[in-house]
Amino acid sequence: MTDEAGFPRFHPDFIWGVSTSAYQIEGAVAEAGRGPSTWDDFCAMPGRVFDNQSGQVACDHYHRYREDLALMKQLGLDAYRFSFSWSRVLPDGVGQVNQEGLDFYDRLIDGLLEAGIAPAPTLFHWDTPSPLEAAGGWLNRDITDHFAAYAGLLAERFGDRVKQWITINEPVVLTLFGYGLGQHAPGRTLFFEALPAAHHQLLAHGKAVQVLRAAGASNIGIANNHAPVWSASEDPADRMAAAGYDALTNWLFADPILLGRYPNDEFAAAMPGPVAEDLAIIASPIDWYGINHYQPANIGAPGGAADPDASDGATLPAGLPFQLRAIEGYPKTDFGWSVVPEGLGEILRIFRKRYRTALPPVYITENGCAINDGRNAAGLVDDQRRVAYLAGYTAALAQAIDDGADVRGYFHWSLLDNFEWAVGYSQRFGLVHVDFDTLSRTPKASFDWYRRLIAASHGLPEGR
């Protein structure tokens, strides 16, 4: 269902937001007492990141946040999802607090509230403080207590103004890309030996939920990456590979939180520590569940023709029990990811069916596309493919809600073109174009489309 202007219809209370993360936008990595993180270290290793780029300057959001707040206000956002840099707040990850780091987030949060935008911070978006990584990082159980202490510090400092909390972003990606395959920081290639990093992130999430709750927070969730997994064919070998991939990437990270168990005994057996007791903590009740969704995964048994665009632009190593296959018949973003709006409805249906009453309300905490259009002769960025992407995915979301999904909000990834991890600045996910030479910001055509969608959804005149 659409309104007269062609925008999909949403409840007026539906929350519209954008998402970013600290390392991808802040820059100022060695300023105001910030300590180093694994991403600083990873970027310093030659050949790891596209063109040896780094987040040293990124969007310089640390200094330009007022300009970025003005852009958010112009969009008419209800909420802004950003992440705290752990090493800006606690340079060693534990112990000594960096007041200047906390002061920055004070200014940001106060600026958001002045603009009428609700802050929705993520406590951890992959940038582990280097000293903690030196001690084993997410393979060392101690980090779960350090994370809980960090959560307590943030709750105490910001709990009077922050009303929605996100513990961890996509533990699946840090586990598999960071510890399993080495494509992200910290660059380890442990393959399935990386699984303890998943358990410790889940446990850290559970401990943080308890700490935040004890500090009075009442709107706590997590942002997990989820996608429908398609079997490349009806062949039993493909179906088995797809089921394994589904368990590894979806249910390993959702079942412990929502059901208090691992999806199978093999996973449970691979985890360190008193797993049954840990699961009771991991399953601490949350108030909502965040789904980051980009594209379905089409999975076959090893030995077929692998998707040349798969996995962050890099090929998966041989020897894995599954293979990513190309998705035919859909457009692709400039990053090679498939544009399949109905995939969003599909993953929401899969969640409702799997978890039923155990599923709390859902937020889409990320969804977006890399479309690399630059400024044209008139100085405008006419990113019509992102407009089409947004129109398609928001229509699919409206349909899913009509079909009964309890989705309370949507956060677009991302506000700004930013440091896209292993591919550096080569892929642009922003509603706002950033010139990485001058750092000047130019709202794109999609920015205006999203602004009008939000206004229409709140029943406001277009020109707000």
3-state SS assignment for residue 265:
helix
The piece of 52-60, 108-116, 168-176, 203-211 that touches ligand PNW (CB under 6 A) is 168-176
Taking the CB of residue 2, how many other CB atoms lie within 10 A of it? 12
Tell me the two tokens of residue 312. 């962050």
For residue 192 the two structure tokens come to 């399935």
Residues 12 to 31 in contact with ligand PNW, rule: CB under 6 A: 21, 24
Q: Dihedral (C-alpha) 70, 74, 78, 80: value to the nearest 10 degrees? A: -40
The torsion angles phi and psi of 212, rounded to 5 degrees, stand at -65, -45
If the CB atoms of residues 104 and 413 are measured against ligand PNW, the closer one turns out to be 413
Tell me the closest approach of the beta carbon of residue 413 to ligand PNW, in angstroms.
5
Please answer whether residues 105 and 32 qualify as being in contact, where contact means their C-beta atoms are separated by less than 8 angstroms.
Answer: no
Asked whether 446 and 368 are in contact (CB, 8 A), the reply is no
Name residues contacting ligand PNW, limited to 350-369 (CB under 6 A): 366
Residue 335: what residue type? F
Q: Which of 68, 78, 127, 170 binds ligand PNW (CB under 6 A)?
A: 170
Assess 225 for contact with ligand PNW (CB under 6 A). yes
Read off φ and ψ for residue 81, nearest 5 degrees: -95, 115
From the candidates 133, 170, 346, 420, give the one annotated as an active-site residue: 170
The residue among 233 and 311 lying less far from ligand PNW, judged by its C-beta, is 311
Does position 231 interact with ligand PNW (CB under 6 A)? The reply is no
Our finding on whether 413 is near ligand PNW (CB under 6 A) is yes
Amino acid making up residue 246: D
CB of 418 to ligand PNW, least distance (A): 7
Among 25, 139, 173, 453, binds ligand PNW (CB under 6 A): 173
114 in active site: no
Q: How does DSSP assign 119-154, residue by residue?
A: E--EEESS--BHHHHHTTGGGSTHHHHHHHHHHHHH
Q: Which helix (H) or strand (E) holds 341?
A: none
**279 or 344: whose CB is closer to ligand PNW?**
344
Phi/psi at 259 (nearest 5 deg)? -120, -10
Give me the catalytic one of 26, 133, 346, 366: 366
Nearest-approach distance from CB 156 to ligand PNW, in angstroms: 27
Strands (E), 52-204: 79-81, 118-119, 122-124, 165-169
Q: Is 156 annotated as catalytic?
A: no
Of residues 279-338, those binding ligand PNW (CB under 6 A)? 292, 294, 311-312
Cα separation, 331 vs 337, whole angstroms: 9
* Shortest Å distance, C-beta 378 to ligand PNW: 29
Nearer to ligand PNW, 24 or 54 (CB): 24
Residues that bind ligand PNW in the complex, under the rule CB under 6 A: 21, 24, 169-170, 173, 225, 292, 294, 311-312, 366, 413, 420, 429
The residues assigned a catalytic role are 170, 366
